[in-house]
Chain A
Amino acid sequence: MEPTKGLKIAKFGLANLIKVADLIYFDGPILSWFRDTESNDYLFLWVDADDQNNRWMVFKVANDILQKYIKGKITLYAIVMNPLEGFMYLVDISSFGDELHYDNTVIVNPSILPESYLPEIISYYEFEPIFVREDINTNDRFYAINIDRDWSLEDLHELPQSYSQIYSFMYNLELNRQGRAITARERSAFAKYPWKGGFSTVNFYNDLHSMIPAEDKPRVVQLQYASPGFIKLSLHTPIAEYIRNSIQAYIASMRQIDEKYAFVMQFQREYKFTRQKVEEYQIEPEVMNIIVEYTEELAQMLRYPYVAATNQLTNNRLLSLRILLAHYRRIKILAAYQIEGRATY
């Protein structure tokens, strides 16, 4: 390994942090996000190895800077060169049995780091984070959303509402996909609303929620507000897994999906589709081709396997696109909590 300069210290003081996510992973973590009990965020960047040890660069990072990095707005190089505390640790970590050993800890300034320890200058985030979830006595009926950091009353409204709406939506579509017969009520819910936002959207989700059998409706069974805390829900857990995968898909391609969404919204405004409900027969074939193309692109990026099922329910492919856009907006809300380190699904 590279010889290290810097101030040697006797003990690595950050051995008890809690891992939030592996931000970059290839057959082992390359960049990991950790947190202390005060909700301070740290990055562990793998920089070197020999036969016995892995060397990690460890430094504190502001949560908003970390979010910008995950959203692809700043580079890792910029973060490394400007650590929050003005310095970082280099530490050699090895494992003996189940124990991790921390040796050769030094405090360094970025200016004296070996060149091979620095990321490239153009090092925007282009990976899929793998968030660590601690399962809290969950089983096939219970599912926990882990929560952390500060929460306002608005947050306690927004996250459960968005989660419940997505759950209702995916529950019905997934059961249809598994062969459940489509009911007239369900067809009506998908087809009757003008999708101009506001109450019609809320009513759509309320209708879907009312179609879920009582035993599968999400219900809070325990709530612990602490750092970390959790919201323990009773629900149909396979749907919770699908929601988690959707959030993961969004986070993995956030920039492209946001750009595509903005593009589709602009397209809708140009054709005045946002102002009124438009029936399929009113849409020119070439415009309909664009609608289908946008729907498929967004669905693929969001790993949304229900395009055919949605079309079957709406009988209107523009409406299906608008429903998919509403789904995106809710997934984005949930993902924001995860990126901020405030919720893990």
Chain B
Amino acid sequence: MRFKYEAMIGGYANCPPTMCENKNIMGLRFVFSDFHPNNILPPLVINPKRVNGTRFTKESTKCSGHALSMYNSLDNARKAYAKILKVAKNLPKTAGTHIAEFPISHEDGLVTSCNDEGHFDLHEYEGVDFANRMVVICLAQ
């Protein structure tokens, strides 16, 4: 299967990481409640110029920048949002105001393992489109 952003990530070593796997999992992601293109776009697709920025010096981070950020539970998503909101009260302006469920199946792509905060990346396969499958479930705060 080709990845949605194959042209951008094809040159990176170990991208997506070999530890990624196909999973049936519910991903939780920050979104805007009305249709907004950023709801379903990875950060380096929203702004490809940032690939040369200091955050993306390593190929592993460039790779991650082409994946959708997700949390494995509503609780973990809300905790992460609340933590950042303590220092950046205008976070809703850029990250989104709501949390949506993304029903991820084996056919959608590869997911990384969760970190301690329940965050994981989804590397979508070509042709996958969550625009009509994501379901906004609640406010992020």
Residues of B within 8 A of A119 (CB): 86-89
Known pairs A95-B49, A97-B49; A130 contacts B55 (CB<8 A) = yes
Q: List 15 A-B contacts (CB under 8 A).
A: A22-B54, A24-B84, A24-B87, A26-B69, A26-B84, A26-B95, A28-B55, A28-B94, A30-B84, A31-B87, A47-B90, A117-B89, A122-B86, A127-B83, A132-B57
Quote the shortest CB–CB distance from A35 to chain B (angstroms).
12
Residues of A within 8 A of B91 (CB): 26, 30
Contact B87 A120 (CB under 8 A): yes
Chain B minimum-CB-distance residue to A27:
B43
Provide the bound-state CA to CA distance between A48 and B78, in Å: 21
**B contact face: mostly helix, strand, loop, or mixed:** helix
Contact B88 A46 (CB under 8 A): yes
Quote the shortest CB–CB distance from A34 to chain B (angstroms).
10
Chain B minimum-CB-distance residue to A26:
B84
Residues of B within 8 A of A48 (CB): 90, 93
Known pairs A27-B43, A49-B93, A97-B49; A76 contacts B54 (CB<8 A) = no
List B residues 72-98 near A (Cβ within 8 Å): 80, 83-84, 86-91, 93-95
Residues of B within 8 A of A28 (CB): 43, 50, 55, 94
Residues of B within 8 A of A31 (CB): 87-88
Q: Produce 1/0 per residue, A21-40, CB < 8 A to B.
A: 01011111111000000000
Q: Count the B residues whose beta carbon is within 8 Å of the partner chain — how many?
A: 21
Residues of A within 8 A of B (CB): 19, 22, 24-31, 45-49, 76, 95, 97-98, 115-120, 122-123, 126-127, 130, 132-135
Provide the bound-state CA to CA distance between A47 and B88, in Å: 6
Residues of B within 8 A of A116 (CB): 89-90
Q: Produce 1/0 per residue, B49-75, CB < 8 A to A.
A: 110101101000000000001000000
Residues of A within 8 A of B94 (CB): 28, 49
Known pairs A49-B93, A97-B49, A98-B49; A19 contacts B54 (CB<8 A) = yes
- Between B47, B84, B86, the greatest number of chain A beta carbons within 10 A of the residue's beta carbon is seen for B86
Provide the bound-state CA to CA distance between A127 and B83, in Å: 9
Contact B83 A126 (CB under 8 A): yes
Provide the bound-state CA to CA distance between A127 and B93, in Å: 21
Contact B87 A27 (CB under 8 A): no
Contact B87 A25 (CB under 8 A): no
Residues of A within 8 A of B55 (CB): 22, 25, 28-29, 130
Quote the shortest CB–CB distance from B107 to chain A (angstroms).
25
Contact A123 B86 (CB under 8 A): yes
